[in-house]
Amino acid sequence: MQAEAMTRQSGFRITGWMVFWSLVAFFGLITVANVVMMWFALSTFTGIEAPNAYEAGRGFNESIARAEAQSAAGWKAEADIDNAAGRMTVRLHGANAAPAAGLSVTAIFRSPVTEAHDAEVALSEVEAGRYAAALPPLATGNWDVVIEARSANELVYTSTNRVLLK
């Protein structure tokens, strides 16, 4: 009796249709939120590291052999990346700490999140074993930097490192 009196006084009454549309609205909102989150997740990073994983896997043993030969040759590299000044310097040393001169050196900056901002920089030799280049504007944060040195189009040195640009 008391509940009936309260309903008549306030004029508010819960009906079956109100419950139905409330449930539809609730699950509709959840569905829209999930679709938006999936779209953001799939549009930023595909997760694909190599366009053809099978071919990359077939060349894995060659990659290991190249890394072992690079290590046995005693290659060393020191990189100085100054994002604020827009400058990068790489020093390459071969066996017995001799400067590695006359190479074609490139640095590839890869964002761990998206490929949209990746950049490749060709470094020029400023003195024996020291290579430098101006950097394009890069966002602050984590980057994977791949340094490759070639002699007569043959890859003689490669290094991949994660760096934090400020």
Number of structural domains the chain divides into: 2
Range of the domain at 17: 2-44
CB 104 within 8 A of CB 149: yes
pLDDT of 33 reads 98
Are 83 and 124 part of one and the same domain? yes
Residue 58 pLDDT class (50, 70, 90 cuts): confident
pLDDT of 3 reads 57
Pairwise CA distance, residues 36 & 34, whole Å: 5
Are 40 and 95 part of one and the same domain? no
CB 75 within 8 A of CB 93: yes
Are 18 and 98 part of one and the same domain? no
Are 38 and 59 part of one and the same domain? no
Average confidence (pLDDT) over 146-151 = 92
Q: Which residue has the higher pLDDT, 111 or 114?
A: 111
Are 67 and 20 part of one and the same domain? no
Strands 76-82 vs 87-93: parallel, antiparallel or unpaired = antiparallel
pLDDT of 65 reads 86
Are 39 and 65 part of one and the same domain? no
Are 81 and 128 part of one and the same domain? yes
- Amino acid letter, residue 118: D
pLDDT above 70 coverage of the chain, percent: 91
Are 78 and 151 part of one and the same domain? yes
Tens digits of residue pLDDT in 2-54 = 656 555 566 788 999 999 999 999 999 999 999 999 998 888 776 677 778 78
Has residue 96 got a pLDDT over 70? yes
Are 35 and 71 part of one and the same domain? no
pTM equals 0.66
pLDDT of 8 reads 59
Q: What are phi and psi of 71, to 5 degrees?
A: -65, -40
pLDDT of 36 reads 96
Are 40 and 61 part of one and the same domain? no
Are 136 and 65 part of one and the same domain? yes
Are 73 and 16 part of one and the same domain? no
Strands (E), 42-140: 76-82, 87-93, 104-110, 119-127, 130-134
Q: CB within 8 A of 129, min separation 6: which ones?
A: 91, 92, 93, 98, 99, 100, 101
Pairwise CA distance, residues 93 & 163, whole Å: 21
pLDDT above 90 coverage of the chain, percent: 38
Q: Beta-carbon neighbour count of residue 110 at 10 Å?
A: 17
